Chain A
């Protein structure tokens, strides 16, 4: 019996053992089976299968290994396993868009995948071996793949200087400055300009309380695309209103307008016009019209825009260096305007407005034009009766000026701004999603949606936000987002630190008498000098090699058009002979190109045969008239050559024909392969092109007449 029982027991035991062994074996098999079914192995097998359908199978499989591929760059702390699945990433034959992902090759870029890895640009989790973990936000990894639309942000993490290949990033950086973001926020590599908003120390002597009230409520007198004057109107061309709209209550509007209207530290004395001018002009009905002609002739529109309605469409025409002036006559008081036109810097030391030479007559006419024609009688019609500012309103306004952040952009003598008013954004681009507070909003939980939600409606993520509303068109919003995403703070590793391409701040500090004239007319507002200055007008770094002295002097005194398609033209400063000579002499002496050496110039004399050959080359062989105008015919891509003989130096023409980009990097004239004889002949021909004073003036006038028509037709496709 015991033996029987023993046998029974052992049978049961054996059965148990057998069962557990099987279970155990199955359990052991789970792991290898699971491993062989891994996602990346599937992709590996699919790649082998895919290559069978290609003509170059053998080459495509030359480097193939059935294991995890990894790009390891310890210097940059890159461990990227992306190439495990993206097997064809550097196979030129797989570049075609018909190649299925993940096998398609990367489009050719300046950085190779092998040397840089993937995550430096694309972000995401490089060491992950599953698609979702590598690409998207997981609990363990908060940095998802950057959508390719915003990928230029990654260029900006190392390239702090602007890159021509990354236009979206450049535009975004430019907008961050133009929109005055730097007024309240710390931004990576953004230098705080000397003036963000105008100094308001003396604002009470310039505008009325009612106007301040209106401006604070609806800061934009610009028009939207339908021609309506709106608070959120935003012209996506170059005319950006710089003052954003704040959310102010009625009492806050009253308080701020009361406080600001009492600020008149320095009284403005009214200018005494020559009594003969007043006698001749006052009461004349066409004084304003004459003023308008002067306003146009002096090319105020190069810096200031006016709203123009044609064919039912209203647009701003003119530049954005200075404020838009459509309704300025209803804004400023007359004494202030005259004082301002005579000497802008005495009211606002950091103003970029040139100090023009005015005759009393012109000053009177232009003032009259601005005060009577650039007006809107309805501008202040919806402002309530404000009355005299009360003491408690002034007190509250002064406090609001700091609390609302006005002081972050505007200076008032004796009022200290709140330090670090807005959050520091210099490391925003690498913020983890968990570090962002979305509040109650329904915004998708990612950094891009957060940035865009915050800009378009600050209250959506933070009901106590002090940030004003910015309604940017989608393209600009994306550009700003790209620029903000590029701000990832100081690089994490030494390797990356070494790779930083810093943003440089060029300086140009002339001296002596030239400096005085240069400062007076603010040449650098539009022109660039050795990298410093504006980009509206031609770079003058090498102007001394380019232009003949006599031409420079007469051009400065009466700027005429060289490039007829340009909307923006050099203003007429009415400078004196002496000032023009000072400028021309300095330019000729100092602003020389190393690529143009007059000592090395071709000294062969120009013969009539050269001229004839040059004319033939110009007209027949190279057909330069497709872009340049001589006489009244030709193209208007390049400059008008009618006055070349008086304008350019022969050394410059020769050097230019040899290699235009050596003289002006980025100029669009393609470099050709002219022979030295052809260069000699073309130079000879171009130097014979001379215009007499009268025709030059006529050409300039006819261009002026055409200018507003052209400006209207300047809808760009971008």
Chain B
């Protein structure tokens, strides 16, 4: 009699456990986490993950900027060494980390002359949209070496 009750209790218990158990997941299937990536220019073995916005910046960089702001381009050696003053490498953190996002946006939008720098940097305000310019800045920030640390904004914790 006792064994039968015990058996019944066990059975109900087991059914309860089975019924309430969540479907166990066979591990996360997400193969790769980043939207896109870019090799670290200073250390090609390392990869820098890019989010959507930075990836759009990368695309625009390789269309418009790579010719003068990198040492090699998809079509061969770059025009950078040909220019005086030599343009900053896009990942040169020591040159660019100190500048604010607004400053970089202005350089791209209005060109070098507008901020009393070399006129060799043309204005892109009519070719690129505001969003595209922000994307390029976001890309510059993420590939910067030494790494870029955004300034702490007052009020933000």
A residues sitting closer than 8 Å to B (CB atoms) are 53, 55, 97, 107-109, 132, 136-139, 144-145, 147-149, 151, 164-165, 167-168, 444-446, 448-449, 478, 565-567, 620-623, 626-627, 634-637, 661, 668, 670-673, 710-711, 713-718
Residues A717 and B126 in contact in the complex (CB < 8 Å), given A626-B83, A626-B120:
no
- B106 contacts chain A at the CB level, 8 A cutoff: no
B27 / chain A contacts, CB cutoff of 8 Å: 444
**CB neighbors of A among B45-79 (8 A):** 51-53, 56, 59, 62-64, 67-68, 70, 72-77, 79
* Contact present for A716 and B74 (CB under 8 Å): yes
B121 / chain A contacts, CB cutoff of 8 Å: 626
- B151 contacts chain A at the CB level, 8 A cutoff: no
A634 / chain B contacts, CB cutoff of 8 Å: 82
Nearest A residue (CB) for B30:
A147
- Nearest first, the 9 closest Cβ-Cβ pairs linking A and B are A626-B120, A149-B32, A716-B74, A671-B126, A107-B52, A670-B127, A623-B119, A714-B76, A637-B67
B83 / chain A contacts, CB cutoff of 8 Å: 626, 635
Distance in angstroms from B155 CB to nearest chain A CB is: 5
A-B contact pairs, 12 of them (CB 8 A): A147-B30, A165-B59, A167-B59, A168-B36, A444-B27, A448-B31, A670-B122, A673-B126, A710-B76, A713-B72, A716-B72, A717-B41
* Contact present for B79 and A627 (CB under 8 Å): yes
Residues A147 and B33 in contact in the complex (CB < 8 Å), given A671-B126, A717-B39, A718-B62:
yes
How far, in angstroms, from A710 to B79 measured CA to CA in the complex?
13
* Contact present for A566 and B75 (CB under 8 Å): yes
Q: Which of B31, B53, B123, B156 contacts A670 (CB 8 A)?
A: B123
A622 / chain B contacts, CB cutoff of 8 Å: 119, 122
Residues A444 and B29 in contact in the complex (CB < 8 Å), given A148-B34, A165-B56, A671-B127:
yes
Residues A637 and B79 in contact in the complex (CB < 8 Å), given A148-B33, A151-B35:
yes
How far, in angstroms, from A55 to B33 measured CA to CA in the complex?
30
* Contact present for B76 and A108 (CB under 8 Å): no
A167 / chain B contacts, CB cutoff of 8 Å: 59
* Contact present for A107 and B51 (CB under 8 Å): yes
How far, in angstroms, from A445 to B121 measured CA to CA in the complex?
52
B residues sitting closer than 8 Å to A (CB atoms) are 22-23, 25-36, 39, 41, 51-53, 56, 59, 62-64, 67-68, 70, 72-77, 79, 82-83, 113, 118-124, 126-127, 131, 155-157
A446 / chain B contacts, CB cutoff of 8 Å: 29
* Contact present for A444 and B67 (CB under 8 Å): no
B31 / chain A contacts, CB cutoff of 8 Å: 147, 149, 448-449
B156 / chain A contacts, CB cutoff of 8 Å: 55
Distance in angstroms from B30 CB to nearest chain A CB is: 5
Q: Which of B32, B56, B64, B82 contacts A147 (CB 8 A)?
A: B32
Nearest A residue (CB) for B142:
A97
* Contact present for A53 and B157 (CB under 8 Å): yes
Other A-B pairs beyond A147-B30, A165-B59, A716-B75, 8, CB < 8 Å: A149-B31, A448-B29, A634-B82, A635-B79, A710-B76, A713-B77, A716-B72, A718-B62
How far, in angstroms, from A71 to B24 measured CA to CA in the complex?
29
* Contact present for B64 and A717 (CB under 8 Å): no
Distance in angstroms from A624 CB to nearest chain B CB is: 9
* Contact present for A636 and B126 (CB under 8 Å): no
* Contact present for A565 and B29 (CB under 8 Å): no
How far, in angstroms, from A651 to B27 measured CA to CA in the complex?
65
* Contact present for B35 and A148 (CB under 8 Å): yes
Distance in angstroms from A605 CB to nearest chain B CB is: 29
* Contact present for B52 and A149 (CB under 8 Å): no
* Contact present for A136 and B29 (CB under 8 Å): yes
A716 / chain B contacts, CB cutoff of 8 Å: 72-75
A623 / chain B contacts, CB cutoff of 8 Å: 118-120
How far, in angstroms, from A445 to B32 measured CA to CA in the complex?
16
A478 / chain B contacts, CB cutoff of 8 Å: 32
A168 / chain B contacts, CB cutoff of 8 Å: 36
* Contact present for A445 and B26 (CB under 8 Å): yes
How far, in angstroms, from A268 to B28 measured CA to CA in the complex?
62
Distance in angstroms from B14 CB to nearest chain A CB is: 20
Residues A710 and B29 in contact in the complex (CB < 8 Å), given A108-B131, A132-B22, A661-B127:
no
* Contact present for A132 and B123 (CB under 8 Å): no
Residues A710 and B26 in contact in the complex (CB < 8 Å), given A109-B52, A670-B122, A717-B41:
no
Nearest B residue (CB) for A714:
B76
Distance in angstroms from A215 CB to nearest chain B CB is: 32
* Contact present for A139 and B127 (CB under 8 Å): no
* Contact present for B122 and A672 (CB under 8 Å): yes
* Contact present for B52 and A637 (CB under 8 Å): no
* Contact present for A670 and B35 (CB under 8 Å): no
A55 / chain B contacts, CB cutoff of 8 Å: 155-156
A139 / chain B contacts, CB cutoff of 8 Å: 23
Distance in angstroms from B5 CB to nearest chain A CB is: 18
- Most central of B29, B39, B126 by chain A CB within 10 Å: B29
Nearest B residue (CB) for A148:
B35
Nearest B residue (CB) for A448:
B31
How far, in angstroms, from A138 to B23 measured CA to CA in the complex?
7
Residues A108 and B53 in contact in the complex (CB < 8 Å), given A148-B35, A627-B79, A635-B79:
yes
* Contact present for B79 and A714 (CB under 8 Å): no
How far, in angstroms, from A711 to B72 measured CA to CA in the complex?
12
* Contact present for B82 and A636 (CB under 8 Å): yes
Distance in angstroms from B48 CB to nearest chain A CB is: 12
How far, in angstroms, from A234 to B113 measured CA to CA in the complex?
46
How far, in angstroms, from A236 to B152 measured CA to CA in the complex?
43
Distance in angstroms from A212 CB to nearest chain B CB is: 37
Q: Which of A144, A148, A621, A626 contacts B29 (CB 8 A)?
A: A144
How far, in angstroms, from A634 to B120 measured CA to CA in the complex?
11
How far, in angstroms, from A151 to B32 measured CA to CA in the complex?
11
- Most central of A145, A478, A668 by chain B CB within 10 Å: A668
Residues A668 and B72 in contact in the complex (CB < 8 Å), given A445-B26, A446-B29:
no
